[in-house]
Structure 1
Amino acid sequence: MRVVYNSFNGRYADNPRAVHQALLARGDDVEHLWLADERHLAGFPEGVTTVPIRTPAAVAALDGADAVVANTHMDQDAWSLREGGLYVQTWHGTPLKRIHGDAHTQYSDEDMRLLQAEVDRWGCLVGPGGEGSALLARAFRYEGRVLDTGYPRNDVLHAPDRDARRADVRRRLGLGDDEKVVLYAPTWRDDEDHAAADGGTGGLDAAGLADRLGEGWRVLVRLHYFVLRGAGASHERVLDVGAHPDIAELYLAADAFVTDYSSSLFDVAPTDLPVVLFAYDLEHYRDTLRGFYLDLDEQSPGPVVRTQAELEAVLADLPAVTAAWAGRRAEFVRRWAPLDDGGATRRLLEQTGL
């Protein structure tokens, strides 16, 4: 059997990575091929077989696949799924911001036609369960099989060895045992120049935050992968982790998580990691750029702050904030992430027959 993987069009990451590692551990006679962007080859482990994406070799690999496991729309020349083959679309998270058919003003008619043709090829769509699975299917105008499995990439967050993993990740990042760590991971903006090398940090003054929190705190900055510029970390306690291959490892390493409108909110909510939404441009993003599927003021699993001063105040009193938001957070998980329990990969393999 041949399985071809595509994660973010050329990386070794996310749900496809978790599926790949599970199949490797099982030891079956499977040919595993990864579509790889040469810019991200360093992120592929030794021994993983790669095929250059957007090449005839990639088309040939896909044409001969028994299964294709992806987490985004395929940025690849025309290819044909072989008869009896299965295209498993795991997507890359439950969206807070509107996507695909619900964000149609962001796309030309031709773009939407091409995207919908891609959706129509899917053999199944992996969902988080609860309301999230139905939301994804509706947004993609997808009428096929939806698998309520949860996201395989999040299994490590609930694994029995997560404390040991946390210690290992922190060691590799150079974080002290006694240091407190804030991870900031915002989404991208449709109206920004993503290639601009301006050293921005997604609306956050990371150096200022590190100074205000004081000694004993570190700030990790991970901008969205669409944003090509670096985080511009110029402070000894600010670390740019944009190139780290697995954001789940960064969740494990952190003591607090700050985002804005990223799908990472849904990944972190089922854990015990305190979460804060730094919504410095909420009205603009909601009313002009994308819009949201949720009313953040009513349904957010953590505080929604508009200014850096408010963010700093929340981070200075995390135990009280965590306790105050426990009820809202539990309801959020029940509705949007009920299957993030460590068993998502197993369920996906069972339901797809891989």
Structure 2
Amino acid sequence: MIDKENLKYWYIVSLRTLYKPLTFLPVKGNRVIFESFSGDGYNCNPKYISEKLQNEYGDKVEIIWAFNNTERFQKELPSNIKVCKYRSIQHLVYRLTSKIYVCNFLQAIEFPKNHKQISIQTWHGGGCYKTVGNQESGRLSSYVKRQNIQLSETDFFVSSSDYFKQKVIKEQFNFDGRILNVGMPRNDILIKNSSNEKMLNLKKKIGVSNDAVIVLYAPTWKQTLDKYETLDVELLKQSIETRFNKKCEILFRTHLYGNQKLSNVRNVSEYSDMQELLLISDVLITDYSSSMWDFSFTNKPCLLFTPDLEEYISNRGFDEDIFTWGFPVCQTNEKLSQEILDYSEDDFKLRMRKHHEFLGATESGEASQKVTDLIASYLDI
């Protein structure tokens, strides 16, 4: 059987060789290009850096975004930000002539790095959860090779904790470049106090009630779904309403590359900004997604629903034992219900404080500003 990933790898390597002479093109000193999840979103860390850069410097900086679906995201961007089709010729030109390249994923494509360019890797998670890089089992060698190509071209890697800096970036990704241990820009919105007006506007935009307990169920991507019990929505609602004495509304957001389905919930999988969903939610239920790290800084309850835990540990594995993270681990719907009914705000806050201390969290609410300041120091503005 033909290894498609290996063919893709050699296709990319061949085109990079062909494009190599173009890496000596002059860069435009005020041009910055952003990509998120291989062109699939206007979100995550790149979005919040882009917004801060736009707010700080306006038209002094030429900002480019590359999308697979340009029409979908064009309307979300300020009119003076340019958009191009991901992996198009126009994208190639912008990538090769941008002074700064910012992205949140590690899968090199056919565009090599310009010798005069600064590449900033923000990644898309924090904490001590799923293994990545050389510790991640089940990944094809061609996948790892593409990852390593991009790592070799990265100048700065953004980190959210001392643990992530040492154990993940340095050891699992084998990155020996410069590390910005300043927190994730996407989490600034969760750490800083948001105005009531902002919260009301977001709830109206998303379509949820202002006087209900908003529960967000956001599982990570996984291959095994059918043989495990699914979330019992009615039991979850009943448990939330009993514990908090308020009406409950459940939002469901599958992983960007997932295909999980759930009935009797409001599906917000097409909503591009996960951080805004986390901001308006009162409770997060996930499994192994690093959204738990983000949400932990709100001190609002987060519970893990993990019916496939043993298989996930066998197939993927964790940096640290899941039972030491501080989040209630629930392998059944009954356990999830009981944990909700027994929830203690003071106890949970204490557990989160210990979790942050153990990892040496560096989230401060100023990450966007710090990364923007770094970018500006390299631009001709």
Distance 1:115 1:33, change over 3 A: same
Q: What residue is the counterpart of 1:203 in the other structure?
A: 230
How many residue pairs align between the two structures?
Answer: 338
Q: What residue is the counterpart of 2:11 in the other structure?
A: none
How big is the shift at 1:39? 7.5
More displaced stretch, 114-123 vs 128-137: 128-137
How big is the shift at 1:249? 0.9
How big is the shift at 1:162? 4.6
- Amino acid of the residue matched to residue 7 of structure 1? S
Q: Which has the larger radius of gyration?
A: 2
Separation (CA, whole Å) in 1 of partners of 2:336 and 2:195: 27
Distance 1:223 1:293, change over 3 A: same
Distance 1:34 1:42, change over 3 A: closer
Report the TM-score when normalising by structure 1. Answer: 0.88
How big is the shift at 1:165? 2.6
- Amino acid of the residue matched to residue 270 of structure 1? F
Separation (CA, whole Å) in 2 of partners of 1:181 and 1:61: 41
Q: What residue is the counterpart of 1:245 in the other structure?
A: 272
Please give the secondary structure, in 2, of the residue aligned with 1:27.
helix
How big is the shift at 1:315? 2.3
> What do residues 237-292 of structure 1 show as CA deviations (whole Å, max 9, x unaligned)?
x2111111111111111111111111111111122211111121111111x21000
Q: What residue is the counterpart of 1:343 in the other structure?
A: 366
Separation (CA, whole Å) in 1 of partners of 2:113 and 2:135: 27
How big is the shift at 1:317? 4.2
Counterpart mapping for 1:27-38 below 5 A: 27-28=57-58, 29-38=60-69
Q: What residue is the counterpart of 1:80 in the other structure?
A: 112
Please give the secondary structure, in 2, of the residue aligned with 1:20.
helix
Separation (CA, whole Å) in 2 of partners of 1:2 and 1:307: 51
Q: What residue is the counterpart of 1:24 in the other structure?
A: 54
Separation (CA, whole Å) in 2 of partners of 1:165 and 1:84: 40
> What do residues 281-306 of structure 1 show as CA deviations (whole Å, max 9, x unaligned)?
111111x2100011121x22221111
More displaced stretch, 141-150 vs 32-41: 32-41
Please give the secondary structure, in 1, of the residue aligned with 2:33.
strand
- Amino acid of the residue matched to residue 301 of structure 2? P
Check conservation: 1:301, 1:329, Cα contact below 8 A.
Answer: yes
Separation (CA, whole Å) in 1 of partners of 2:253 and 2:144: 29
Please give the secondary structure, in 1, of the residue aligned with 2:249.
strand
Counterpart mapping for 1:206-245 below 5 A: 206-210=233-237, 213=240, 216-228=247-259, 231-233=261-263, 235=264, 238-245=265-272
> What do residues 151-207 of structure 1 show as CA deviations (whole Å, max 9, x unaligned)?
000101122335433222212222222211111111111x348xxxx9x99932335
Please give the secondary structure, in 1, of the residue aligned with 2:258.
coil
Q: What residue is the counterpart of 1:175 in the other structure?
A: 208
Separation (CA, whole Å) in 1 of partners of 2:229 and 2:180: 34
Separation (CA, whole Å) in 1 of partners of 2:357 and 2:373: 23
Separation (CA, whole Å) in 2 of partners of 1:296 and 1:261: 9
Distance 1:39 1:289, change over 3 A: farther
Please give the secondary structure, in 2, of the residue aligned with 1:244.
coil
Check conservation: 2:108, 2:150, Cα contact below 8 A.
Answer: no
Counterpart mapping for 1:68-107 below 5 A: 68-74=101-107, 76=109, 78-94=110-126, 96-103=129-136, 105-107=137-139
Distance 1:253 1:93, change over 3 A: same
Please give the secondary structure, in 2, of the residue aligned with 1:81.
coil
More displaced stretch, 212-221 vs 65-74: 212-221
Does 2:308 correspond to 1:276? no
Does 2:319 correspond to 1:293? yes
Please give the secondary structure, in 1, of the residue aligned with 2:250.
strand
How big is the shift at 1:314? 2.2
Separation (CA, whole Å) in 1 of partners of 2:367 and 2:229: 31
> What do residues 41-97 of structure 1 show as CA deviations (whole Å, max 9, x unaligned)?
247514242111122221111011100000012463x22322321000000012511
Q: What residue is the counterpart of 2:286 in the other structure?
A: 259
Distance 1:147 1:63, change over 3 A: same
Segments of 5+ residues of structure 2 without an aligned counterpart are 1-29
How big is the shift at 1:107? 2.0
Q: What residue is the counterpart of 2:4 in the other structure?
A: none
> What do residues 105-164 of structure 1 show as CA deviations (whole Å, max 9, x unaligned)?
322222222221111111110001221121221211111111111000010112233543
Segments of 5+ residues of structure 1 without an aligned counterpart are none
Please give the secondary structure, in 2, of the residue aligned with 1:73.
coil
Check conservation: 2:107, 2:146, Cα contact below 8 A.
Answer: no
Separation (CA, whole Å) in 1 of partners of 2:114 and 2:319: 36
Does 2:159 correspond to 1:133? no
Which structure: greater helix fraction? 2
Does 2:348 correspond to 1:334? no
Please give the secondary structure, in 2, of the residue aligned with 1:335.
helix
Separation (CA, whole Å) in 2 of partners of 1:54 and 1:93: 25
Aligned-pair identity in percent equals 24
Which structure is higher in RCO with an 8 Å CA cutoff and minimum separation 6?
2
Report the TM-score when normalising by structure 2. Answer: 0.82
